[in-house]
């Protein structure tokens, strides 16, 4: 299996090489040349398999240059009882006959990012060993809160790798910030940036594409890679849980063989919903993908009009991990939707760079609209749905999952579609304690985030996630900050070059 560039500007590379490089050095993202598929029987038989066994079946189809032993080793190292509290790894909870919550936050950092970032470091180490490079890998991460901690946790103390995380100052929750700033590990650095997530992500992407800077760091025996979802190694493990969920629904006779499901995903960088789309290309029976946004609804508008336009205000919301206007994985999606038309992709991304917007052709728009719907949720609606679901089902949603549920409800109100739907629950509610508590109890005067966390526990009775317990006693180990224009200089300084 070869990986090619969405912009047609790079030779096909192996999976290991795509993972090691993180992003196409000339600009663009690595995508599989073809998407492998399962037979119907293979999919039905998954209902007898454990998460780890389903993981193997998916990874072996995409990561063809990893041996069977290597894949089994990385899967065992990632998906075990030390890393994931729930032995199902990604358990599914029934809210009502049509609605299921896919809990993706049982990993060490309480967000869905763990599902991929517990395995990516193992895949990357093997990729480095397969290459003839002896350079130390420097992982650059831009985060709006969740990827940062999950990547730090995954990569801390991994030999031959350094990790530098950039997050928007005042653009993540207090708990997310505390999680990142208390990270141990001699190879970890965390930097707060006076700007928003898009500033961080754009600066990191520019660094990847900066030939002169890459030559400089190569000369100093370093090479860059990425732990964001621009790295294919982040996306492929996210396909697994869509199959494990389908297997669960079949096993429990909630659906019949071949029955289609809907998938509602709260998303900002479009990675998690794109993984669901790839699962459908592999044979998973999906009716509709519901793309759920907060007030940064650039994706909703795109799905409704075919126009992607980032010339708009950037809102800081109570679902901060989705505060994103430049959605990285849309590029991969458009590549698939246009039948790999790299000319179109190049034109649209040139337009985006020059004017902040692009418009897809009618055929592409119609194709997208046949599969995807875009819905969005206001701040008030986010809080309302948290209250509603708590009252009706005694289930506590985090602010992002709340957007997923609200978007689903809007979609059902518009269409009366009663297809069984799974909502991706992307984070544990305690990561956003203040907002969740305010949704349930009204304004919270208490300033101390850790007292708020305990109060939320009293109100909901939900066990505090083990990755968040005792956070207030941990030492703050990182205190770097910089302006958006100084990110490159910061990287140089950290690496001492």
Around Cβ 481, how many Cβ atoms within 10 Å?
15
Tokens matching residue 487: 């990110």
User: Distance between CA atoms of 188 and 185, rounded to whole angstroms?
Assistant: 6
Closer by beta carbon to ligand LJ64HWYM, 372 or else 390: 372
DSSP secondary structure code for residue 371 in this structure:
H
The number of CA neighbours under 13 Å toward the Cβ of 316 is: 10
Residue with tokens 């985006």, as numbered in its chain: 352
Residue with tokens 């080793």, as numbered in its chain: 73
Helix, strand counts (H, E) of the chain: 21, 15
Around Cβ 395, how many Cβ atoms within 10 Å?
19
Q: 178 and 449 in contact (C-beta within 8 Å)?
A: yes
At its nearest, how many Å lie between ligand LJ64HWYM and the CB of residue 322?
6
* Ordered alpha helix ranges (H), 47-138: 51-62, 68-78, 114-117, 120-130
At its nearest, how many Å lie between ligand LJ64HWYM and the CB of residue 21?
16
At its nearest, how many Å lie between ligand LJ64HWYM and the CB of residue 202?
12
The single residue of 50, 113, 135, 488 carrying the catalytic annotation is: 113
User: Distance between CA atoms of 374 and 400, rounded to whole angstroms?
Assistant: 15
User: Distance between CA atoms of 202 and 126, rounded to whole angstroms?
Assistant: 28
Closer by beta carbon to ligand LJ64HWYM, 139 or else 158: 139
User: Distance between CA atoms of 163 and 157, rounded to whole angstroms?
Assistant: 10
Cα→Cα distances 237→29, 36, 231, 244, 390, Å: 17, 15, 11, 12, 31
Backbone angles phi, psi at 148, to 5 degrees: -55, -55
At its nearest, how many Å lie between ligand LJ64HWYM and the CB of residue 302?
17
Strands 3-5 and 30-32, sheet pairing: antiparallel
At its nearest, how many Å lie between ligand LJ64HWYM and the CB of residue 255?
28
At its nearest, how many Å lie between ligand LJ64HWYM and the CB of residue 70?
24
Closer by beta carbon to ligand LJ64HWYM, 145 or else 233: 145
At its nearest, how many Å lie between ligand LJ64HWYM and the CB of residue 180?
10
Closer by beta carbon to ligand LJ64HWYM, 114 or else 406: 114
Going by C-alpha positions, the residue among 81, 113, 98 that lies closest to residue 421 is 98
Closer by beta carbon to ligand LJ64HWYM, 295 or else 328: 328
Q: 182 and 151 in contact (C-beta within 8 Å)?
A: no
Closer by beta carbon to ligand LJ64HWYM, 91 or else 148: 148
Closer by beta carbon to ligand LJ64HWYM, 146 or else 406: 146
At its nearest, how many Å lie between ligand LJ64HWYM and the CB of residue 215?
26
Going by C-alpha positions, the residue among 189, 192, 199 that lies closest to residue 145 is 192
Closer by beta carbon to ligand LJ64HWYM, 57 or else 272: 272
Around Cβ 427, how many Cβ atoms within 10 Å?
29
* Sign of the Cα pseudo-torsion (416, 417, 422, 424, in order): negative
Chain residues that interact with ligand LJ64HWYM, rule: CB under 6 A: 143-148, 228-229, 268-269, 271, 321, 328
Asked about 474 being catalytic, the answer comes back as no
Active site residues: 113
């Amino acid at each position: 299996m070869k990986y090619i560039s969405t912009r047609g500007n790079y030779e096909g590379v192996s999976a290991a090489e795509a993972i090691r490089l993180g992003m196409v050095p000339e600009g663009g993202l690595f995508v599989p040349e073809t998407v492998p598929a399962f037979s119907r029987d293979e999919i039905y038989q998954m209902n007898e398999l454990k998460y780890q066994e389903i993981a193997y079946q998916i990874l072996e189809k995409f990561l063809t240059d990893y041996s069977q032993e290597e894949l089994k080793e990385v899967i065992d190292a990632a998906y075990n009882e030390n890393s994931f509290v729930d032995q199902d790894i990604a358990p599914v909870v029934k809210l009502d006959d049509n609605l299921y919550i896919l809990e993706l936050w049982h990993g060490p950092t309480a967000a869905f990012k763990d599902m991929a970032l517990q395995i990516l470091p193992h895949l990357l180490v093997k990729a480095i060993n397969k290459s003839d490079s002896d350079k130390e890998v420097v992982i650059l991460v831009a985060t709006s809160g969740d990827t940062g901690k999950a990547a730090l946790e995954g990569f801390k103390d991994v030999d031959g790798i350094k990790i530098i995380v950039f997050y928007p100052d005042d653009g993540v929750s207090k708990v997310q910030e505390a999680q990142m700033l208390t990270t141990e590990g001699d190879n970890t650095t965390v930097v707060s940036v006076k700007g928003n997530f898009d500033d961080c992500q754009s600066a990191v992407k520019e660094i990847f594409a900066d030939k002169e800077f890459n030559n400089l760091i190569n000369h100093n025996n370093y090479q860059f890679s990425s732990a964001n979802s621009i790295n294919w190694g982040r996306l492929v493990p996210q396909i697994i849980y869509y199959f494990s969920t389908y297997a669960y629904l079949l096993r429990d006779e909630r659906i019949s063989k071949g029955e289609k499901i809907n998938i509602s995903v709260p998303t900002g960088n479009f990675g998690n919903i794109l993984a669901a789309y790839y699962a459908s290309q592999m044979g998973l029976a999906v009716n509709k993908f519901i793309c759920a946004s907060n007030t940064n609804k650039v994706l909703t508008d795109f799905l409704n009009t075919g126009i992607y336009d980032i010339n708009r205000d950037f809102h800081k919301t109570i679902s901060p991990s989705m505060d994103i206007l430049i959605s990285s994985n849309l590029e991969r999606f458009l590549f698939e939707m246009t039948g790999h038309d790299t000319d179109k992709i190049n034109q649209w991304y040139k337009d985006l760079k020059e004017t902040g917007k692009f418009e897809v052709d009618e055929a592409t728009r119609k194709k997208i609209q046949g599969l995807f719907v875009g819905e969005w949720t206001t701040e008030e609606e986010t809080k309302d749905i948290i209250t509603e679901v708590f009252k009706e089902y005694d289930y506590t949603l985090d602010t992002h999952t709340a957007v997923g549920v609200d978007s689903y409800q809007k979609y059902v109100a518009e269409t009366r579609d009663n297809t069984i739907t799974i909502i991706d629950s992307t984070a544990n509610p305690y990561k956003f304690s203040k907002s969740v508590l305010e949704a349930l109890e009204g304004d919270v005067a208490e300033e101390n985030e850790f007292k708020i966390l305990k109060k939320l526990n009293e109100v909901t009775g939900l066990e505090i996630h083990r990755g968040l317990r005792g956070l207030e006693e941990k030492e703050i180990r990182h205190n770097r900050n910089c302006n958006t224009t100084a990110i490159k200089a910061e990287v140089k300084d950290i690496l001492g070059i």
